Amino acid sequence: MKRRKYCVAMLLAGGQGSRLYSLTTDVAKPAVTFGGKYKIIDFPLSNCVNSYIDTIGVLTQYQPLKLNQYIGNGQPWDLDRNFGGAHILPPYQKKVNTDWYRGTANAIYQNLPFIDQYDPEYVLILSGDHIYKMDYNKMIAVHRKNNADCTIAVLNVSLEEASRFGIMNTNPDGSIYEFEEKPKHPKSTKASMGIYLFNYSVLKKYLTEDDADPSSSNDFGKNIIPNMLKDGLKLYTYDFDGYWKDVGTLDSLWEANMDLLGENPNFNLNDEKWKIYSRNDAYPPQLIKAGATLENSTITEGCVIEGTVINSVLSNNVRVEKGAIVKDCVIFDDVLVEAGAKVEYAIIDSGVTIKKAVKVGAAKEKGAKLTVIAGGLTVKCDVASGTMLEEEN
């Protein structure tokens, strides 16, 4: 029986995230821990289901094991469906031209048969490395109102920041006349968020043509969008004014975690109307023991706190023993901070043990640099500020 979906989302989750260094040694960037109990990919996935988009292709390539396992059948996001749901799409062997995903556009091109199954009106292209809450339905509504071929979500950034982004130069009605990748002298401050909505028929045509062009780098920003502009298609921006953060670097990942803290946080996760879903492990509630001091922090299930935690984000099953101090830190799952240890301004990957009285990093307010400890390490000696520890010291 023929059935169709109104909109299919394609989530680009194959990136290595090399600027996250040791955090992405064995996981793809979208599977990196964020905000205590989440993975980065929970945000686009939850945005989809909250926007009633229930058919999502997740394109994986780099270190997909943990990501595949995490997504599983999509049940935590209500994406276990008979028709639709979450589907992992790795590169696959073909009769001719077997290849890895050669670029963002090529990754989608190789999966046109997946999209065809659903015969959608629209295809939404998302990436797995941004933290934000967004109702994609509003974007679809604007797209339809403009009778557009493609709509690109943009964020107003400062003029200084603009040279770090892909910038959309627009007419007063929001239609795009030019796209500039990281311009030295930006003409506009409308930065692309990497969220594209296409009419599927148009997308299919341009992806097919792009694949036939051997000189193309098969990239949405570099090839598909400029080609569509050249042909005079209708491309519009969709202005987004909420919180959005690219967590592609260690510093931005740390900052985005800090944005969750405080009474009126920059980014609020306690939002009953827009829940972020994640795969849950069966941990008991956290236990705060006598003598613990907690200040401006967020702590999740399974943690046992006896020491001091200040301005920090703790994931599942973190133990902070008596006299230990954790300050300005982002700590992933299953970390043990032993008695008297002091951890300041650091990202600690999962499974790390910081031995008794060891000092990791230094005070942020005194100009220290971010310290990073790779997963599974046992830290026996002090670690200087700014270190990226990847082997036991």
Partner 1 sequence: MATLGLIFSATHCQSSLTITKNRTIASVPVGGRYRLIDFTLSNMVNDGVNHIGLVTTTNYQSLIDHIESAKEWDLARKHGGLTLLPPYTNKPSKDNNRLESLRNIIDFIRRAPEEYVILTDSYHMCNIQYEPVFKELFNKKADIVCVYRKADLSKHDYTPVKTLTLANDGRVIELNFEEELKGKVNMSLDIWVMRKDLLVSLVEMAIKADLHSFNRDILSNHLDKYRVYGYEFKGYFNEVTSLKSYFDLNMDLLNIDIRSELFWTENRPIYTKVRDSAPTKYITGCKVSNSTIADGCIIEGTVENSVIFRGVTVKKGAVVKDCVLMQDTVIEEDANLQYVVTDKNVTVTNGTKIRGTHENIKYIKKFEVI
Residues that bind partner 1 (CB under 8 A): 35-37, 75-76, 261-263, 269-271, 275-278, 280-292, 294-301, 304, 309, 313-314
Give the nearest distance from C-beta 12 to partner 1 in angstroms.
Answer: 25
Number of residues in the chain: 393
Burial class (CB in 10 A: 0-12, 13-18, 19+), 272: exposed
Looking at the Cβ atoms of 276 and 352, the one nearer to partner 1 is: 276
Of 147 and 264, the one with the shorter C-beta distance to partner 1 is 264
Residue 277, both tokens = 């879903």
CB of 107 to partner 1, least distance (A): 29
Cβ-count burial of 120 within 10 angstroms (0-12 exposed, 13-18 middle, 19+ buried)? buried
Q: Nearest distance from residue 52's CB to partner 1, in Å?
A: 17
* Closer CB to partner 1, 284 or 386, in the complex: 284
Which residue lies nearer to partner 1 by CB, 154 or 314?
314
d(CA 264, CA 334): 28
Nearer to partner 1, 205 or 289 (CB): 289
Residue 212 or 290: the one with the smaller Cβ distance to partner 1 is 290
Q: Tell me how far, at minimum, the Cβ of 153 lies from partner 1, in Å.
A: 24
Between CA 209 and CA 255 the distance in angstroms is 40
Distances (CA, A) of 328 to 97, 246, 368, 372: 49, 20, 11, 12
CB of 352 to partner 1, least distance (A): 19
**Least distance to partner 1 from the beta carbon of 230, Å?**
45
DSSP label of 281: P
Nearer to partner 1, 336 or 379 (CB): 336
Residues 63-84, buried b or exposed e (16+ Cβ, 10 A)? bbeebbebbeebebbebeeeeb
**Angstrom distance (rounded) from CA 64 to CA 31:** 9
Minimum CB–partner distance for residue 47 and partner 1 (Å): 14
Q: Looking only at Cα atoms, what is the longest distance across the chain?
A: 68
